[in-house]
Structure 1
Amino acid sequence: MRIYLSVDMEGITGLVDAQDVQPTGRDYEHGRLMMAEDVNAAVRGALAAGATEVTVNDAHGPMRNLRSDMLHPAARLIRGKPKAMGMLEGLDNTFDAALCIGYHSRAGTSGVLSHSFTGAIEDIWLDDRPAGEIGFSHATAAALGVPVVLLSGDDTACAEMAEWDPRVRTVPVKYARGRFAAELRPLAEAREAIESAVTACLTGELPTPSAPSTTTLVVRWQSAAVADVLRNLPGVTGRDDRTVTISGPVDDVYRQFRVWLNVASAL
């Protein structure tokens, strides 16, 4: 059984502020350790369920947060950027299941460190459903033939995943008290919850992923300048000064969206 972990940082146990998750933050090194411990708990859970291979993709910011010397020795690590598939780099239909570790809720919610990929984005919709990193990652994994079976993060992220797909098991490691504050679960309790939930969801029959053959992505940007540039790309149309849309196979749309993020970053 091959298991894939996409690991973000904002939803990691104990982390609540930019100082915890940005390389320039005073508590970033502590955040890296906390991130590795959540990942290791998930890896242990996967191995206990019979996983023969576990691949971990560092999916946060610079994508160089996880240190190989901190990780469980059974885990393979995908690290660094740029990566064509970003948060889902390396995922394909040879994997039996995907886990989303340390994820956060979408822009505009009251979840801890909530946003959607970048502060340049105001809103995202997939086939008219509000989406963020949770929904887009789930939909793309399904299109690649891999079910997402577990998510860990704050309670707001867990609720967002439950709304998107109630079959996904969720593990709240903290409870939002605002965008930069949370009530934290005790560390040992949170890691045990991740480990046991991973083992449970990988034991027995895994769900069959379901995805449409095509999807329509709509993104509203904070700045009209980004939309102005993106409308020059093939297949991209504008809905208003700040909103662009594209349709196509889900995984192709996801790759196109990764290009959009690079354009926004350059601007």
Structure 2
Amino acid sequence: MRIYISADMEGVTGLVDAQDVQPGGRDYERGRLMMAEDVNAAVRGAVAAGATDITVNDAHGPMRNILPESLHPAARLIRGRPKHMGMLEGLTAEHDAVICVGYHSRAGALGVLSHSFMGHEIEDMWLDGRPVGEIGLAHATAAAIGVALIVLTGDDCACTEMTEWDASVETVAVKYARDRFAADLRPAAEARAAIEKAVTAGLSAAPEAPVAAHAASSTLTVRWQSASVASTLLGIPGVSPVDTRTVQAQGTLPGLYRLFGVWMRVAASLANQPPYC
């Protein structure tokens, strides 16, 4: 059984502030160890369910957060950037299931460290007219590849967002949002035991390959903070304006997901603002 784990950081046990998740932050070194421990809990759960091949993609920020020596020895690590598929780099139809660890709610939600991919650079996103963030876009892309997302961990707002997108996905809340930079923390040992248990249970249920909900052409729409970003993106073939700060493109997933990665690299070159201002 081949398992793929996409590991973000904002939704990790105990982390609540930019200082916890940004390189150079006061508590970043501690945060990256906390990230590894949440991931390791998922790996242990996968091993207990019989997984023989486990890939972990470091999907946060610089994508060099997990120290290789801190990762469970049963897993291989995809580390660094750029990655053509970003948070889903290395996911193929040969995988049997996807697990998302440490995810967070989309821009505008009152969840811990909520945003959509680029901090305040992205104000809103829609997939086929449906509000979407990192959770929904990862789920839709994995489904298009033919792999089921079976477990997601994060704060309670991220879990609610996942359930609203697909109620069949098991969620594990490791903290409960009090505000965007404050949370009621679940004890670390308890949270990681819950992650391990959920992964084992989810994989033991033998998830079936999903019917790709976005096999036909989809429309991805993104509203940027900066009109300059939107204007520049119009130079990419297939990108059309909705208004002065909003652009959209049509295509099939996962190609549309990869195209969005190009948009973000263009936006970063123009704005490059800290993600949690």
Which category of TM-score, normalised to the shorter sequence, fits these structures?
Answer: over 0.9
Measure, in 2, the Cα distance between the counterparts of 1:207 and 1:61: 31
* 2:222 counterpart of 1:244: no
* 1:266 and 2:254 matched: no
2:183 is the alignment partner of 1:182:
yes
Task: Give the counterpart letter for 2:11 in structure 1.
Answer: G
2:222 is the alignment partner of 1:219: yes
The residue type equivalent to 1:115 in the other structure is H
Give the match for residue 146 of structure 2: 145
For 2:214 and 2:103, the matched residues in 1 are separated by 24
* Residue equivalent to 2:19: 19
2:96–2:209 Cα contact (<8 Å) kept: no
Q: Which position in structure 2 is the counterpart of 1:125?
A: 126
TM-score scaled by structure 2?
Answer: 0.96
Once the 2 structures are TM-superposed, how far is the Cα of residue 250 of structure 1 from its aligned partner?
1.2
Compute the displacement of 1:208 (Å). 3.1
Tell me, in whole angstroms, the C-alpha distance in 1 between the residues paired with 2:218 and 2:253: 6
1:3-42 superposed matches below 5 A: 3-42=3-42
Aligned residues: 267
Alignment root-mean-square deviation, CA: 0.6
Separation of aligned partners in 1, 2:249 and 2:214: 15
1:209 offset after TM fit, Å? 1.4
Q: Percent identity?
A: 68
Runs of 4+ in 1 over 4 A off after TM superposition: none
Give the match for residue 136 of structure 1: 137
User: 1:87: which partner in 2?
Assistant: 87
1:255 to 246, 251, 258: 258
* 1:157-236 to 2 correspondences below 5 Å: 157-210=158-211, 211-213=213-215, 214-236=217-239
Secondary structure of the structure 2 residue equivalent to 1:247 = strand
User: How far does the alpha carbon of each residue in 1:96-132 deviate from its partner, in whole angstroms, 9 at most, with x for none?
Assistant: 0000000000000000000000021000000111000
**Aligned equivalent of 1:109:** 109
For structure 2, the residue ranges without an aligned partner over 5 or more in a row are 271-277
Segment of structure 1 superposing worse, 164-173 or 211-220: 211-220
Instruction: Write the letter of the residue equivalent to 1:219.
Output: V
Normalised by the length of structure 1, the TM-score is 0.99
1:44 Cα offset (Å): 0.2
CA–CA distance in structure 1, aligned partners of residues 132 and 209 of structure 2: 21
Alpha-carbon separation, structure 2, partners of 1:102 and 1:193: 13
Consecutive unaligned residues in structure 1, runs of 5 or more: none
Structure 2 residue matching 1:232: 3-state secondary structure: coil
State yes or no: 1:55 paired with 2:58. no
Question: Per the alignment, in what secondary structure is the counterpart of residue 164 of structure 2?
Answer: helix
Which residue is equivalent to 1:70? 70
